[in-house]
Amino acid sequence: MLQQVIISGIAYGSIYALMGLAMAIVYKTSTVPNFAQGEMAMISTYVAWVILTSYGASFPVALLGAVVVAALSGITLEFAFIRRAKEPNVLNLIIITLGFQMILYGLAGWRWGADQKRVQLPISDREVIHVGNVAISHLSLATIVIAALLMLAVYLFFNFSRWGTAIRATQQNRVAARIHGVPVNRLLAGSFALSAVVGAVAGLLVAPITTLDPTMMWDPILKGFAAAVLGGLTSLPGVVIGGYLLGIIENLFGAYISVEFKSVVAFLIIVLVLCVRPSGLLGRHYVRKV
Partner 1 sequence: MEPFFAVEGLTRRFGGLIALDNLSFQVDPGMIFSIIGPNGAGKSTLFNCICGLYEPDAGRVLFQAETITGEKPHRVARRGIGRTFQNLELFRHMTTMDNLMLGRHLHMRSGVWSGATMFHRGSRAAREEQEHRARVEEIIDLLRLHAARDRYIWQLPYGTQKLVELGRALATKPKLLLLDEPAAGMNLEERQDLIFWIADIRDELGVTILMIEHNMQMVMGISDHVLALDFGRAIASGSPREVAADPEVVRAYLG
Q: Which residues of the shown chain bind partner 1 in the complex (CB under 8 A)?
A: 156-157, 160-163, 165-166, 168-169, 172-173, 175-184, 284, 286
Classify residue 282 by burial, with Cβ atoms within 10 Å: 0-12, 13-18, 19+.
middle
Least distance (Å) between residue 285 CB and partner 1: 11
Least distance (Å) between residue 286 CB and partner 1: 7
CA distance 253 to 240: 20
Classify residue 214 by burial, with Cβ atoms within 10 Å: 0-12, 13-18, 19+.
buried
CA distance 192 to 32: 10
**Judged by CB, which is closer to partner 1: 164, or 252?**
164
**Judged by CB, which is closer to partner 1: 29, or 45?**
29
Residue 114 CB partners (closer than 8 Å, separation 6+): 213, 214
**Judged by CB, which is closer to partner 1: 56, or 181?**
181
Closest among 60, 63, 71, 86 to 25, alpha carbons compared: 71
Helix axes 236-256 and 265-276, enclosed angle (nearest 10): 130
Least distance (Å) between residue 161 CB and partner 1: 5
**Judged by CB, which is closer to partner 1: 171, or 215?**
171
Least distance (Å) between residue 157 CB and partner 1: 6
**Judged by CB, which is closer to partner 1: 197, or 246?**
197
CA distance 5 to 88: 44
Least distance (Å) between residue 179 CB and partner 1: 6
How many helices (DSSP H) and strands (DSSP E) are in the chain? Answer: 11, 2
CA distance 19 to 158: 17
**Judged by CB, which is closer to partner 1: 126, or 288?**
288
Least distance (Å) between residue 70 CB and partner 1: 18
